[in-house]
């Protein structure tokens, strides 16, 4: 089964889009490097802000006919075909494909609110094309909205990026319990919490160390820590030039930390286990 990673946290600006795009590109590059025959990766942008779309395709002009919006509005019988037609290659790598977001997704949430089966409108067509990809990565918007729910229902693995200043366990536990609700309430047994990814860690800030240590020793959350990404200005420079962090500066501290995370995810994928 293709692993479908969803990056989620209702807090804004914690590194969801940075992590989604970097992980997606990282998996593509690593699979190519290891000579995998089946090495394509799909990035799905469910956020109407379209940041992940913009940096990976150089475009932010996707609309009703050629974006995720088209998939969500399609008839059930044709939704998978619509999805396949909307996918574009990333400018970063021909093996990285993108299902773009559109500003129209903002209205789609309202339009779909009363439509039967709305939360499955991504999961359903995606399940029909997932086998074409070695991995799929979904970026979500900063809220527990219908769109985020759709992303979680479509996924197999949730990764929760969080900044050290938001590491308070109460906030984190609410994200974790939302993911558990989706698994149990929506009967989606394949969704598991892959882990918590600490982003923008500034080792000069004492409070960051304190909160990270608290997380490490927490009986539930401590076991979920899968990586710590340092705060690194290479990330914003890479964004501004619409380049992947790995291409912009593979030796930057954030690149090295993401590379470690990507190797771990690919090891898990190829083992097919935890
Ligand atoms: N490791 C890092 N070091 C420095 N800056 C970072 C790092 N990770 C992300 N940023 C910066 O933080 C900002 C927010 O990152 P990003 O857009 O990935 O967060 P997000 O969670 O997707 O935000 P939103 O909730 O608005 O979708 C961006 O300007 C990005 O360049
Ligand atoms: Mg984002």
The chain-wide mean pLDDT, for the chain, equals 93
User: Which tens digit of pLDDT belongs to each residue from 166-199?
Assistant: 777 778 888 898 898 888 887 788 899 999 999 9
Q: Work out the percent of the chain whose per-residue pLDDT is above 90.
A: 81
Counts of helices then strands in the chain (DSSP H, E): 12, 8
Residue 238 Cα: closest atom of ligand 1: 31
Mean pLDDT of 150-161: 96
CB atoms < 10 A from the CB of 202, how many?
Answer: 15
Q: Residues in the chain, how many? A: 274
Residue 140 Cα: closest atom of ligand 1: 27
pLDDT value, residue 167: 76
Are 267 and 226 in contact by the 8 Å Cβ rule? The answer is: no
The answer, yes or no, to whether residue 6 has pLDDT greater than 90, is yes
CB atoms < 10 A from the CB of 33, how many?
Answer: 10
Handedness of CA 178, 180, 186, 189 (dihedral sign): positive
Mean pLDDT of 188-211: 92
pLDDT value, residue 272: 64
The answer, yes or no, to whether residue 102 has pLDDT greater than 90, is yes
Which residue in 26, 35, 88 sits closest to 60, CA to CA?
A: 88
The answer, yes or no, to whether residue 24 has pLDDT greater than 60, is yes
Residue 19 Cα: closest atom of ligand 1: 18
The answer, yes or no, to whether residue 113 has pLDDT greater than 90, is no
- b/e map 249-263, b = 16+ CB within 10 Å: beebbbbebbbebbe
Question: For the whole model, what pTM was predicted?
Answer: 0.97
- Ligand 2 center from residue 77 Cα (angstroms): 31
51 lines ligand 1 (CB under 6 A): yes
pLDDT value, residue 78: 96
Place of tokens 């990565």: 137
Backbone angles phi, psi at 5, to 5 degrees: -90, 135
E-strand ranges in 189-274 read 192-201, 225-230
The answer, yes or no, to whether residue 97 has pLDDT greater than 90, is yes
Place of tokens 């974006």: 67
pLDDT value, residue 274: 47
Give the separation between CA 133 and CA 117, rounded to whole angstroms: 25
235 lines ligand 1 (CB under 6 A): yes
Mean pLDDT of 13-30: 97
The answer, yes or no, to whether residue 231 has pLDDT greater than 90, is yes
CATH architecture label of 8-271 = 3-Layer(aba) Sandwich (3.40)
Give the separation between CA 33 and CA 39, rounded to whole angstroms: 10
Torsion of the alpha carbons at 251, 257, 259 and 260, rounded to the nearest 10: 130
The answer, yes or no, to whether residue 235 has pLDDT greater than 90, is yes
Place of tokens 């903002």: 106
- Ligand 1 center from residue 53 Cα (angstroms): 14
- Ligand 2 center from residue 51 Cα (angstroms): 6
Residue closest by Cα to atom 30 of ligand 1: 236
pLDDT value, residue 144: 86
User: Which tens digit of pLDDT belongs to each residue from 120-149?
Assistant: 999 999 999 999 999 999 999 998 889 999
- Ligand 1 center from residue 74 Cα (angstroms): 32
């Amino acid at each position: 089964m293709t692993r479908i990673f969803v990056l989620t946290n209702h807090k804004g600006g914690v590194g969801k889009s940075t992590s989604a795009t970097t992980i997606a590109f990282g998996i593509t590059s690593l699979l190519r490097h290891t000579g995998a025959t089946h090495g394509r990766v799909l990035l799905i942008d469910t956020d109407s802000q379209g940041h992940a779309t913009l940096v990976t395709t150089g475009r932010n002009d996707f609309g009703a006919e050629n974006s995720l919006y088209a998939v969500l509005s399609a008839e059930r019988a044709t939704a998978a075909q619509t999805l396949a037609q909307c996918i574009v290659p990333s400018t970063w790598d021909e093996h990285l494909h993108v299902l773009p977001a559109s500003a129209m997704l903002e209205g789609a949430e309202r339009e779909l609110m009363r439509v039967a089966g709305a939360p499955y409108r991504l999961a359903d067509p995606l399940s029909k094309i997932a086998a074409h990809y070695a991995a799929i990565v979904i970026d979500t918007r900063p809220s527990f909205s219908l769109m985020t729910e759709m992303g979680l229902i479509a996924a197999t693995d949730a990764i929760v990026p969080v900044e050290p200043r938001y590491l308070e366990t109460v906030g984190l536990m609410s994200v974790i319990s939302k993911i558990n609700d989706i698994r149990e309430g929506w009967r989606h047994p394949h969704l598991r919490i892959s882990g918590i990814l600490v982003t923008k860690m500034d080792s000069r800030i004492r409070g960051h160390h304190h909160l990270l240590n608290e997380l490490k020793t927490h009986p539930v959350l401590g076991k979920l820590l899968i990586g710590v990404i340092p705060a690194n200005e290479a990330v914003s420079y890479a964004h501004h030039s619409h380049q992947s962090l790995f291409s912009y500066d593979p030796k930057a501290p954030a690149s090295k930390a993401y590379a470690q995370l990507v190797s771990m995810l690919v090891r898990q994928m190829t083992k097919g286990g935890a």
